[in-house]
Amino acid sequence: MALASSLCFSSSVLCHHLSAPLNPTRFSSLRHNLSELRFLSASSSAQKEAPSEGQNGNGSVLVKDTSENSEETMVRVELHKEPTEAILYAMHELGLASRKTFKKCDRVVGEVLGKFHPHGDTAVYDSLVRMAQPQVDLIIENLSIENLESAFSFFNLLSNKYGFRHSRVSEFIVAHVLARRRLFKELCLVVKQMVDDEGPGSAPSLCELLLNRFRDWDSTGVVWDMLAFAYSRSEMIHDALSVLVKMKDLNLNVSTPTYNCLLHNLKHTDIMWIVYNEVKDSGTHQSDHTIAILIDGLCEQSGLQDAVSFFMGVENTESWPSVVSFNTIMSRFCKLGFVDVAKSFFCLMFKCGLLPDSYSYNILIHGLCIAGSLEEALEFTKDMERHGVQPDTVTYNILCKGFHLLGLMSGAHEVIQKMLIKGLNPDHVTYTILICLPHAGNIEEALKLQEEMLSRVFQLSVIVYSVLLSSLCKSGRIEEALRLQYEMEAVGLEPDLITYSILIHGLCKKGDVQRASKIYREMYMKRIIPNYFVHRSILLGLREKGDISEVRKHFDNLLKRDVTEDIVLYNIMMDGYVKIGSIAQATRLYKQIIEKGINPSIVTFNTLIYGFCKTGKLVEAHKMFDTIKLFGLLPSPFTYTTLMDANIERGNIHGMLELL
């Protein structure tokens, strides 16, 4: 009879006691846990007696039995002695007897898991997982001795398929197995997962476990090194340094990649040089990347002069000169706009007997494109091919962007055509650049590119969608823009402030203020605070509708939210009053502007002057004209035209001549 039919557990009354404290559970991101892996056996309390103290067992737990056919009684759940026996026992219980220990574990685990967890008894499920962890540790260790591949496969089976949260002991056992097999990629994944789960400050406890439990294991030095590397990759620098100190005490070697990763994370600090001195003192090989990281760090810390001095003074013949070092310093000069200096280093590479790689050319071509020297960038592209370096997708993307920056859209398309002729496939960056071209091109072509991106399973960014939305709105195709927004949300992308601003502006411009207001409210619900551009669009849209009361209502709401420091919002409101002849209301708003200390613009004065002239109040209009200069502003042609037309209309030739 299977284990599940022996007992019916209740999650609310689970009690257990283990002889030693358990390690914290691992792989916290995997929520489903293995519990009934047949490493446990259970029998009724009436038939099973507790083992004597002298019996060599693995411990037991007490669990309350609350089945329908029995009263609430305590039963003992026993852990089996040997790991391989436990697996065989589980197979036997499920009618899967086999002498091949690992072969049918997959099916066994699946059968046992199905007995509890799908029925909702999560507390029991999790508790049994904790009980099973010490037993799983023993099984993995046993398998690591008998068959390395089986140990790793069993480990992956439990964690990946059934969500079992391994203990740190199991993870370190598997780490040593992978180190012995020299499977460094898999080793990195296991250790990185452990480090990320443990978090900052966990190095002392992990080091203690490694030291006490695995000191004499084969390849333990590799595991130590990978632990330091994993902490560094996860930017837990203090933990990484703590591991390095322990390794030095144990006389264990640190690899070049580990040192390089740590140097990269420390390149903003002076500690970088302490670590570098340790690299030199330990005799660890310095790769091209080691020197490149130091040069990059010097550029960020103290400037280019020190970086160049170090670059020219490196005495390590194994790392000097190197293409990587040249690329690093060229990149830094290009980013700062010193493309000519970068070109000098490029020429120096040839004098040193080095051939630039694709990175070297791409760095320089990008710098030239940003500087607007597109012809020279194209010449360097030809030089690439002359020296046997084929332009890649990155090269063509850089050139395409260079044409785009200069507004030469046809040139960008020619670059893409040449790229396709050479058998290179456009990537996500290529499509993004092309889609951003429709501001001066064809929106239909951009939409086709979007469809092509989706067919190639490229994920469009919010920026790309915003560009497409803007182009559609400017073309008056609002309904298509809204459908594109729904499509954007359907693929898991959330509209941002720019996206909403584009849609609201497009709707208001089209006169659909109602839907624009709906999106406006949606922004607040998502805690996206509208900017002045959005407020202006809504206010302008309402004003164009001609209902000044609705405009004022929205304006007053903005006043309550204290977002009316924008003079443009006041100008829109004042213009609305002037158009209906309510110059008094416009004047009151002008006084509010002055009281709040908001500087009026020439549009503010033009609006008021037009309002006074429209209502025949030329004296007030001239006074407002004189006030313009008090705010350091100059009258615009519209100012003069408005006043002159009003004076001529009233026959006031003298007033008109005063304006000349």
CATH number at residue 650: 1.25.40.10
Tell me the residue type at 69.
N
**In-domain check, residue 633:** yes
Domain that holds residue 607: 565-660
Confidence (pLDDT) at 36: 31
Helix (H), strand (E) counts: the chain: 33, 3
Confidence (pLDDT) at 49: 35
Q: Which residue has the higher pLDDT, 231 or 93?
A: 231
449 pLDDT band, cuts 50/70/90, is confident
Cα separation of 196 and 236, whole Å? Answer: 9
**In-domain check, residue 94:** yes
Res. 88: pLDDT tops 80: no
Question: What tokens were used for 424?
Answer: 């290179």
Highest mean pLDDT among 134-138, 479-483, 529-533: 479-483
What stretch of H or E contains 61?
strand 60-65
Question: What tokens were used for 463?
Answer: 């920026």
Cα separation of 238 and 244, whole Å? Answer: 10
How many Cβ atoms sit within 10 Å of the Cβ of residue 562? 7
Cα separation of 468 and 404, whole Å? Answer: 16
pTM: 0.56
**What does the pLDDT average to over 229-235?**
92
How many Cβ atoms sit within 10 Å of the Cβ of residue 169? 20
Please answer whether residues 173 and 137 qualify as being in contact, where contact means their C-beta atoms are separated by less than 8 angstroms: yes
Confidence (pLDDT) at 100: 44
User: Which segment of 238-252, 294-308, 356-370, 636-650 scores lowest on mean pLDDT?
Assistant: 294-308
**In-domain check, residue 531:** no
Confidence (pLDDT) at 5: 30
Which 3 state secondary structure label does DSSP give 64? strand
Question: Helices 203-213 & 220-233, crossing angle to 10 degrees?
Answer: 170
Question: What is the per-residue pLDDT across 588-604, written as a single tens digit (0 to 9) for each?
Answer: 999 999 998 899 999 99
Cα separation of 54 and 66, whole Å? Answer: 31
Confidence (pLDDT) at 610: 93
Q: Tell me the CA distances in angstroms from 126 to 138, 140, 311, 626, one per residue in order.
A: 19, 20, 57, 82
**In-domain check, residue 256:** no
**In-domain check, residue 191:** no
CA 472 to chain centre: 28
Boundary (domain end) residue, out of 80, 107, 142: 142
Res. 58: pLDDT tops 50: no
Confidence (pLDDT) at 564: 65
Res. 315: pLDDT tops 60: no
Q: Which residue has the higher pLDDT, 306 or 502?
A: 502
376 pLDDT band, cuts 50/70/90, is very high
φ/ψ of residue 42, rounded to 5: -140, 145
Question: What is the per-residue pLDDT across 135-165, written as a single tens digit (0 to 9) for each?
Answer: 777 777 777 776 677 777 778 777 776 667 7
584 pLDDT band, cuts 50/70/90, is very high
Tell me the average pLDDT of the chain. 76
Q: Which residue has the higher pLDDT, 50 or 359?
A: 359
**In-domain check, residue 598:** yes
**In-domain check, residue 369:** no
**What does the pLDDT average to over 318-326?**
75
Structural domain count, the chain: 2
Boundary (domain end) residue, out of 142, 169, 200: 142
**In-domain check, residue 79:** yes
User: Which segment of 90-99, 442-451, 559-568, 604-613 scores lowest on mean pLDDT?
Assistant: 90-99
Boundary (domain end) residue, out of 142, 167, 189: 142
- For the chain, what percent of residues have pLDDT higher than 70? 75
Cα separation of 21 and 572, whole Å? Answer: 71
Res. 526: pLDDT tops 50: yes
